[in-house]
Amino acid sequence: MKKLPIVPYLKPLLLATLLSASSAVQAQEPVRIAFMDPLSGAFASIGTSGLKQIQFAADYLFNSKGGILGGRMIEIVPLDNQQSPTETQIQFRRAVSDNLQIIVQGNSSAVANALNSAVTRHNRRNPGQEILQINYSAVDPILTEENCSFWHFRFDAHAVMKLNVLTDYIAENQDLKSVYIIGQDYSFGQVVSDTSIRLLNEKRPDIEIVGNEFHPIGQVKDFTPYVTKIVSSGADAVITGNFGADMVSLARSIIDNGLDIPIYTFYAAYDGITATLGADGKNKIRLIHNETSNPIPTEERKAFIRAFKAANPNNDVTQPRIINALSMIVAAMEETQSTDPYDIATALEDMRFTTLSGEEIWMRGEDHQIFQSLHISVHTDEGVEFDADNSGFGLFSEFHVPAEETIVPVNCSMDRPRR
């Protein structure tokens, strides 16, 4: 058998093309970010809406402008944890084996706590292959206090910070003489209850706590029996940290049973909730949140919302903090020219960043807690340029607290890895 003379030259040539191809792939390789939240099951509406927002933010702010780190695209990898701590562990293993080093997660503090301990354990055992937890919405203070970790960053004000503002607002209302607290029976619900009672006792000792109720999360079919208790307690207002279906059902029961008192909440808007409450909830429901609602302060953010609505007509920009979180991760990557979690974490510490709303927000280095202005908004159809659920109703911000006034003392001693 005679070999063709070209063959000896072919081999290195082939190798060279292969090599150059692979280095081209290297340059184009996307920056992959995991988004772990409930994408199926009872809480899917919040998770899928969050996923659409982070995907849109990645495309609109970065990918459409040529990507980040000199041309790399951001790829959001959805991981469905069904909002269960058990499933979270499984999805976390998946993230590890898929080499995903940044996990964005928000829903449920129980899940965030589970993820936090999984991440901490993994990072201790696998130096050099660390994973970064980006928490955009789980507000149990423990995550930046007793259980604070170098690998965890929170982009939402925690429950105590929010309740500080909320109780200030409640304390201003001199007609209020009694409050009923009801919440889901898990870490966040307990924090809301304990903190509300403590702060109201400090600020307005004359306000009586006429009820302090817990119910299993996602198990209650009908809230009317609870509302019956609220009515007979004679409460002037209700405070609740409920979210998802538990929030809608509770608010609807209160309204349907003719109880005309203010309801102070954390999560009573968007993803069908605003539409379901509709005209019946007008001026009754108030939310405490970061990132002001209507009127939207800047043209930049208005343009973002319009573009998002054009792409997702049935969804809203419900959690601008997801955009802030993504933007700040990218800023940290650009600053260090690296996608290594350690480098990102170091750059995020004490980063000051100007959001689409034109506000400078600060990621405190000692405990990785974000500080930005907080707002209380009312469910209404007046002055609402950007509504929710296409219902004509939306949030109007009526009480603002600047970032400096929301700062709480550091209560975290962190183990810092050395490099």
Partner 1 sequence: MLDVFIFATLNGLVTGLLLFMLASGLTLIFSMMGVLNFAHASFYMLGAYFAYSISLYFGFWTGLIFAPLIVGVLGAFVERYGLRRVHQAGHVAELVFTFGLAFLIEEAVQFFWGPGTKNYQQPELLDFPLFTLFGQEFPAYRGFMIGISITIFIGLYYLLTRSRIGIIIQAAITHPKTVANLGHNVPLIFMGVFGVGTALAGVAGVIAGPVLTTFPGMAVVLGSIVFVIVVIGGLGSLAGAFIASLLIGLLQSYAIASDVGVPDLLNLLGLEFARDHPLTDLWTMTLPQIAPILPFLLLVLVLIFRPTGLLGKREQ
Nearest-CA neighbor of 287 among 239, 325, 249? Answer: 239
Closest CA to 184 of 267, 115, 262: 267
Nearest-approach distance from CB 272 to partner 1, in angstroms: 3
225 binds partner 1 (CB under 8 A): yes
- What DSSP designation does 105 have? E
Q: Which is nearer to partner 1, 236 or 271 (CB)?
A: 271
Q: Is 146 in the site for partner 1 (CB under 8 A)?
A: no
**Contact pick of 17, 126, 173, 257 for partner 1 (by CB under 8 A):** 257
Tokens, residue 169: 């607002």
- The Cβ-side half-sphere exposure at 77, using a 13 Å CA radius, reads 16
CB of 219 to partner 1, least distance (A): 4
Q: Which of 389, 394, 396, 406 binds partner 1 (CB under 8 A)?
A: 389
Q: How many CB atoms lie within 10 A of CB 411?
A: 15
Residue type at position 171: A
Per-residue tokens: 6? 């070209």
- 392 lies in the binding site for partner 1 (CB under 8 A): no
Which string of x and - marks every residue 180-199 that binds partner 1 (by CB under 8 A)? -----x--------------
- Return the C-alpha torsion angle 13, 18, 19, 21, nearest 10: 120
Q: How many other C-beta atoms can be found within 10 angstroms of the C-beta atom of residue 283?
A: 12
Q: What is the dihedral of CA 94, 36, 361, 63, to 10 degrees?
A: 80
How many residues in the shown chain lie near partner 1 by CB under 8 A? 42
Encode 236-257: b = buried (16+ Cβ within 10 Å), e = exposed.
bbbbbbbbbebbbbbbbbbbee
- Please report whether residue 294 would count as binding partner 1 according to CB under 8 A: no
CA 387 to chain centroid = 20
* 208 near partner 1, judged by CB under 8 A: no
List 213, 300, 340, 398, residue binding partner 1 (CB under 8 A):
213
Using CB under 8 A as the binding rule, the residues of this chain from 307 to 326 that contact partner 1 are 314
In the list 60, 391, 410, 412, the residue contacting partner 1 (rule: CB under 8 A) is: 391
Angle at 303 between CA 299 and CA 308, to 5 degrees: 150
Binding region for partner 1 (CB under 8 A) out of 17-25, 201-209, 274-282, 410-418: 274-282
Q: Which is nearer to partner 1, 338 or 391 (CB)?
A: 391
What residues from 10 to 49 belong to the interface with partner 1 (CB under 8 A)?
Answer: 40-45, 48-49
Helix pair angle (224-233, 244-256), 10° resolution? 60
Per CB under 8 A, which of residues 102..131 are in contact with partner 1? none
Amino acid at residue number 34: A
Question: Which of 226, 264, 266, 342 contacts partner 1 by CB under 8 A?
Answer: 226
Query: CB of 231: closest distance to partner 1 in angstroms?
Result: 5
Nearest to 249 by CA among 228, 276, 267: 276
Asked if 78 is part of the footprint of partner 1 (rule: CB under 8 A), the reply reads no
Q: Is residue 273 near partner 1 by the rule CB under 8 A?
A: yes
Residues 189 and 158: beta-carbon distance below 8 Å: no
In the list 256, 299, 382, 415, the residue contacting partner 1 (rule: CB under 8 A) is 256
Candidates 218, 335, 410, 411; binder of partner 1 (CB under 8 A) is 218
**Interface contacts to partner 1, rule CB under 8 A:** 40-45, 48-49, 185, 213-216, 218-222, 224-226, 228-229, 231-232, 245, 248-249, 252-253, 256-258, 271-273, 275-276, 278, 314, 389, 391
